[in-house]
Structures are given as C-alpha cells and as structure tokens.
Amino acid sequence: MAYVIMDACQDEKSGECVTICPVDCIEEGSDQYYIDPDACIDCGACVAACPVSAIVDENDLPAEQEGQLEKAEAFFG
C-alpha cells in the first residue's frame, strides 16, 4: 500500500481525494475514505488534495495511526 488515510478524515470526509484520483482507487466507507492498495499507482495527487492532511505514505504513518492501515486492508479485503 502506498498511501493511507488517517483518522483525521473521519472529522472532515470532504472527498477531494476521490475527485482528483486518476485511477479511482479511493472509496467511501461508513466512517471515512479508504485507498485501495491494489489499485493505487502511488501518484500522490490525493495527498495534495486533502484539506486536513489526512493522507500519508505508508512508510510515514505515525505509530498511533497504524490501525488505519489495518482498517483499509480490511475494507478492501
């Protein structure tokens, strides 16, 4: 997985990331948006579009947000 949407999305859930994604790999869940790890092409467009900086590279995911990676994997699993 290249990018992970952190829990800041739960408060905002604005959807700019969905609009800008060139491969439509971001889907809306009941509580926030999630990035499909198999469809993502690592372009980073979603990172720049997020108004609350809720999207980070998996390698930069803070320890307290690691549960978000598991949630995304379960959402698409």
- Residues of the domain holding 21: 3-76
Please give the pLDDT value at position 38: 86
Mean pLDDT of 26-43: 94
Res. 1 pLDDT band, cuts 50 70 90: low
Tell me what percent of the chain is helix, strand and coil, each rounded to the nearest 5. 40, 15, 45
Overall domain count for the chain: 1
Does the CA dihedral 25-43-32-74 come out positive or negative? positive
- In degrees and rounded to multiples of 5, residue 44 shows phi and psi of 85, 5
Q: Are 33 and 13 in contact (CB under 8 A)?
A: yes
**pLDDT for residue 55:** 97
- Say if residues 77 and 14 touch (Cβ distance below 8 Å): no
- Tell me what percent of the residues of the chain surpass a pLDDT of 70: 99
pLDDT at 54: 97
Q: What is the pTM of this model?
A: 0.92
CATH code assigned at 30: 3.30.70.20
Question: Under a CB-based contact definition with an 8 Å cutoff, are residues 5 and 32 in contact?
Answer: yes
